[in-house]
Amino acid sequence: MTDTITLTGIVATDPRLVTTEAGLDITSFRLACTQRRFDRARDAWVDGDTNWYTVTAFRALAANVGASVHKGERLVVTGRLRIRAWETSDKSGTTVEVDADAVGHDLRWGRSAWSRVVAAATPAGGAVGDAPTPADPEAVTDAAAAPGWASAAAARPDESSAGGGADGEVGPLVPAGVGAGASTSGLAGGGDEPPF
């Protein structure tokens, strides 16, 4: 049985990214989750007990967490809960781990800038997400790098020269087929907005 859990907390250790000999990326870090409650007797907010979790991410999520998450940041983590008892010759205890499905910054406490990472061509026999990520994730300027998407300039060739716009700008990505005489009657609202 798998238990799915969502946690909010503070990253207590810098994420440690390792790559196995088979090429699998694994990132792990400790997350401290402290419940806050309002104490009416003191008329103030007080910290409750702190729960500690070891969060582990795999493959593309591991690479993105390793590049985006740092000690002291507030996160929201969703994943599968695993509780393990352990014992050595002189100690015993319980370890609580989360195999992360999603990790993100808790925007209640700050701002975050998101950038899409487009993986290179998938190696033979590899699965989506196993491909190496580009060295500069913000250098996505080619519609071929994002299948099914084209730059806004490419979707409206009458508004710009070949190559994507003024001074080589690419512009935002839009679904392929939108603009340039494409029918938009099937789109929500009938305009140039994508259906999502």
What residues contact residue 130 under an 8 Å CB cut-off, 6+ apart?
A: 23, 59, 60, 122, 123
Are 94 and 83 in contact, with CB atoms under 8 Å apart? yes
pLDDT digits (tens, 9 = 90+) for 127-167: 555 444 444 444 444 444 444 444 444 444 444 444 444 44
What is the average per-residue pLDDT within 6-28? 96
Could you tell me the two tokens for 188? 């929500």
Q: Tokens 């806050």 correspond to what residue?
A: 36
Pairing relationship of beta strands 92-105 and 44-58 according to DSSP bridges: parallel
What residues contact residue 169 under an 8 Å CB cut-off, 6+ apart?
A: 153
pLDDT digits (tens, 9 = 90+) for 43-65: 999 999 999 999 999 999 999 99
Domain ranges of the chain: 3-105, 143-183
Q: What is residue 126's predicted lDDT score, i.e. its pLDDT? A: 53
Beta bridge partners, 94, equal 85
What is the average per-residue pLDDT within 84-88? 93
pLDDT at 39 over 50: yes
Q: Tokens 């007990």 correspond to what residue?
A: 49
pTM more than 0.75: no
Averaged pLDDT score across all residues of the chain: 75
pLDDT above 90: percentage of residues in the chain: 54
| Nearest-angstrom CA–CA distance, 154 and 161 | 9
Q: What is the CATH number of domain 3-105?
A: 2.40.50.140
